[in-house]
A and B are shown apart, each in its own frame.
Chain A
Amino acid sequence: MAVRPRLPNAWDFIAAAAVLGALMGIAPAVRGTLAPISAAGLAAVHLDPAALPYYAIRTTLRMFAALVCSILFTFGYGTLAAKSRRAEMILVPLLDILQSVPILGFLSFTVVFFVSLFPGRVLGLEFAAIFAIFTSQAWNMTFSFYQSLTTVPPDLDEAARSFRLSAWQRFWRLEVPFAMPGLVWNTMLSMSGAWFFVVASEAITVGSHTWTLPGIGSFVALALANRNLAAIGWAIAAMLVVILIYDQILFRPLVAWADKFRVETTAAAPIPEPWMLALLRRTRVLRLGSRTMGAVLAGLGGLRLAPRQSRAPISLTQSRTADRLWLAFVTLAVALALWRIVVFVSNGLTLAAFGETLIDGCLSLLRVLTAVAISILIWVPIGVWMGLRPRVARLAQPAAQFLAAFPANLLFPLIVILIVRYRLDPNIWLTPLLLIGTQWYVLFNVIAGAVAFPGDLREAAANFRIRGVLWWRRVILPGILPYLVTGAITAMGAAWNTTIVAEVASWGHTTLVARGLGSYIAQATNDGNTAHIVLGIAVMSGFVVILNRLFWRPLYEFARRRAAPT
């Protein structure tokens, strides 16, 4: 290639401005985290729209700090679970449970823990918030990574082994690249889901203490307490801008870039190059920067850090006794933990209280199921209509993902005002709040399913003039079923978490409570009643796990088998 003078082009100026602007924005935010707690005390948050950019940056930094933690956790946990058969026995079911536990319920424990780690510093609160966000992001990323590691194509595995890559080289050359498409997709989902927790984790009340951190979440909490509709409007706008920015400059390019890691060796339909990726690839300065960084990273990945794998795995008979010992050890540990829980909970609880929570659970389940059913009824026809029209789908899918990030608590005012005005029963009418957060998961999965529906099957259906109910029943619904089930499972998980926030809605001094497991946990958190929190979380996890095992998993397996091409 001919060497041309490296004159800056127009893209360079734009890029430079963006980089400088970002630096100027981040610097004060970072300084703020090191301030003593009194300076960032309770009155630190103002309902002034001018302060919102600063709050937005603080919140975004928190989310990305949590994301970095999630990625590190994913690499460590996922690798351990995939590499060690014994660790796998524990780590995978544990992950399954962690995925289904309502994380919001734990907030009160973790805040107290982290604040006591850094007494008198904002840093402790920051860590507590970051940890809360982390717990909302990490599990699905880890699961996706673990699944990728266990499905590495056997021929690539053999190639890596026969060329004797070290464990470190194998990780960066084979395993991480292979896991990349799934990981990027799950990272995007995690970021969407995290917004919900940001709003909940920046202003936390445990017993008599209330902690606030400057951020969009605490801004919203204050606006809700002060009945300030305009401020809520500003907060929504700020959030939308933040999501739009990181979506455009981070995730669109990431998704396009991750496409090269797909293993299908046939070239797929090209996706248009996002402008940010174009910027990185076309701008001379940025290209030089990203190339250098890429080369350094590639060099790091190529280092022979670990000893090379040479020995074939040891025989199974040898390790069988060790397996038994391990299993016995695990059983003992679990029994001990169970015993501790029983002792702990039984100190403050009666069997009757347990029965009450079960009833609460059933009420919440009814709400969750209603919300999912309604979203399916509404969004399946619309999603199919959109998905079968490529131009509409291209616009609608990112929009649906974007809307999925929208935290339900921002719509509390609207619902509460309506309920109070028309004297409605909160037990029924708080359910729409569940719907608001969860319907989008159904929508964008249905769109994805309809987009992927084979063209020849559509043509065949049209050719035999299959229309109306028959078309829905025999053609499109079975075709999109795996996607629909995925969407419903995700929606259901989100809905359970939402109950903790949505069964208790406040607007100023008006607080509406719907009876259910969510409001039970929220109430226990407010009272600082640990035994009740543990019980509530345990019962909710039980509901989630049982439903997943008995209903969703078999349904998903069935759908996948039926829809598999011949």
Chain B
Amino acid sequence: MDTMVAAGVAAGPLLEVQACRKAYKTDAATELLVLDRVDLRIIAGEIVGLLGRSGSGKSTLLRVVAGLLSPSGGEVRWRGVPLVGPVEGIAMVFQSFALFPWLTVRENVELGLEAQGLPAAERAERTEAAIDLIGLGGYEGAYPKELSGGMRQRVGLARALVVHPDLLLMDEPFSALDVLTAETLRTDLIDLWSEKRLPVKSMLMVTHNIEEAVLMCDRILVFSANPGRIASELKVPFPHPRNRLDKPFRQMVDDIYAVMTRRAQPSGRQIVTPAPAFGMALHPVSTNLLAGLIETLAQPPYDGRADLPALATALQLEADELLPLGEALALLRLAEVEEGDIRLTDAGRRFAAAETDTRKAMFAAALKAHVPLAAAIRQVLEERWNHRASGERFRDELEDHMSPDYANDTLHTIISWGRYAELYAYDEETDQFSLEEAA
């Protein structure tokens, strides 16, 4: 009995995140909530995936866990002790690799050990072991710029593994790689994991690729955005190695798509006042893509209705790229998105059949009717005697509701949509909106 308890303690949670909250101050009074009431528990021996759209706060959570950001509220405990900064048992792999260009492969890998102050002989031995394990033997003396993307991320992995972290954090580790390279790296990593050759106890990875999450993780936490919350948690019951073409695998991918396209449930306990629609963040989506998607949907294989995972595969788009498109169309009432399906509305079908000028007119009408920001800009311009208004003014207003980056993205999007619709003109040099001169 005693031994059981002891084992239970040893295998207890590595990491516990409770009611984690992260907010950024935007103005004196308002703050932008990025993470809200997030709970997370990681025990030894599992791979956990954080899945969500860009901007859903999953990378923020990863950085909180890494000790790189401190949470605004809630608690993060590492092995039972509150986490106040980067600790010894946690190492991170970066999306952009974050290799030091002036250090060789060996020196890059050795860096973490050097920071721990290990003697040179031990450093060399462990570095060599990590380099061999991850398949970098022979590249020790190369500089990162001599390596391909895949090889660079192997260096990033070796650099994290060499410190023998209990928890390995990975921030979209394969998203900067091409499809083939990414797949090789994923399977190599999973093989090492299954053979228990990785010197880690658990892994926590951030991804926006649904298939990647199902392929690698034992547990997937799906994030919803604005503010970032864990919308649902799924266990992946399949043993490694997994086959993407298995029916249960496909079914799980479909299910996750459905979860990700479900409308956010308004929760009764929400403290933050709901943002008016004016302050809705818009993803930078080009009008060409929107028109292209409408045309594709209107044509034969789909005839106005498509299953999102299948559509993503056919168009070679990732969920993260396809979902904002669908959302933009839904916002303009040109399509409806629900439970992993997208369906053109009547307006959408008419748009597909129309000529350029008609399309522009339809787009303008949709903007005025359904996008409060575009409508507001147009109205301000019409009211002003000189029909001009500064972009700064709208940017400031947006920043009351979102971070400066999102405000900028949103403004860029609304500028590009407005230009396409010929609703208003914008001069970048002077940062001025104006009404299009009547030609």
Contact = CB atoms under 8 A, between A and B. Distances in A.
Contact of B69 (A153, A180, A311, A312): A312
B98 A155 contact: yes
A159 B97 CA distance: 9
B413 to A, nearest CB: 17
Given A262-B101, A266-B145, A166 B115 contact: yes
A267 B146 CA distance: 7
A264 B69 CA distance: 27
A267 B66 CA distance: 32
Interface in A153-169: 153, 155-156, 158-159, 161-166, 169
Nearest to A159: B98
A318 interface: no
A260 B94 contact: no
B115 A158 contact: no
A308 B98 contact: no
Nearest to A156: B98
A242 B278 CA distance: 68
Contacts of B115: 163-166, 169, 304, 308
A338 interface: no
Nearest to B144: A265
Interface of B: 25, 63, 66-70, 84-88, 90-92, 94-103, 111-112, 114-117, 143-146, 152, 159, 163
Contacts of B145: 264-267
Given A310-B85, A316-B25, A302 B68 contact: no
A177 to B, nearest CB: 4
Contacts of A311: 84-85
Given A162-B66, A260-B102, 5 more contacts: A155-B98, A158-B94, A163-B86, A165-B115, A267-B146
A174 interface: yes
Contacts of A169: 114-115
A322 interface: no
A161 B86 contact: yes
Contacts of A263: 101
Interface in A236-278: 260-267
A486 interface: no
A405 B166 CA distance: 58
Nearest to A268: B145
A177 B100 contact: yes
B101 A261 contact: yes
A173 interface: yes
A164 B152 CA distance: 21
Nearest to A177: B102
Contacts of B117: 304
Nearest to B428: A561
Contacts, number: 87
B96 A161 contact: no
Contacts of A165: 111, 114-115
A311 B92 CA distance: 17
A166 to B, nearest CB: 7
17 contacts: A155-B95, A159-B94, A159-B98, A162-B68, A163-B159, A165-B115, A173-B111, A180-B102, A263-B101, A304-B117, A309-B85, A310-B67, A310-B84, A310-B85, A311-B84, A312-B69, A312-B85
Nearest to A166: B115
Contacts of A316: 25
A216 B98 CA distance: 49
A367 to B, nearest CB: 34
Contacts of B116: 164
B92 to A, nearest CB: 5
A309 B152 CA distance: 27
Contacts of A163: 86, 91, 111-112, 115, 159, 163
Contacts of B103: 173
Contacts of B96: 155
A308 B159 CA distance: 19
Size range of the interface on A? Answer: 20 to 34
B158 to A, nearest CB: 13
Contacts of A310: 67, 84-87
A81 to B, nearest CB: 23
A304 B111 CA distance: 12
Nearest to B149: A265
Contact of A162 (B67, B95, B97, B146): B67
Contacts of B88: 164
B85 A260 contact: no
B102 A312 contact: no
- Top 5 nearest A-B pairs by Cβ distance? A310-B85, A155-B98, A159-B98, A312-B70, A163-B112
A162 B91 CA distance: 7
Nearest to A261: B102
B389 to A, nearest CB: 22
Contacts of A156: 98, 100
B100 A174 contact: yes
Contacts of B111: 163, 165, 173
A162 B86 contact: yes
Interface string A141-152: 000000000000
Interface string A313-331: 0001000000000000000
A311 B70 CA distance: 9
A170 to B, nearest CB: 9
Contact of A312 (B68, B97, B98, B143): B68
A158 B92 contact: yes
Contacts of B95: 155
A237 B336 CA distance: 81
A185 B85 CA distance: 37
Contacts of B163: 163
A70 B69 CA distance: 36
B23 to A, nearest CB: 11
Contacts of A161: 68, 86
A265 B117 CA distance: 29
Contacts of A166: 115
A310 B94 CA distance: 19
A159 B109 CA distance: 12
Contacts of A177: 100, 102
Contacts of B25: 316
Interface in A81-120: none
A162 B90 contact: yes
A166 B86 CA distance: 12
B172 to A, nearest CB: 12
A365 B115 CA distance: 54
Contacts of A162: 66-68, 86, 90-92
Nearest to A178: B102
B304 to A, nearest CB: 36
A226 B69 CA distance: 70
A266 B102 CA distance: 13
A174 B108 CA distance: 11
A156 B101 CA distance: 10
Contacts of B114: 165, 169, 302
A159 to B, nearest CB: 4
**Best-buried of B68, B84, B90 by chain A (most CB within 10 Å):** B68
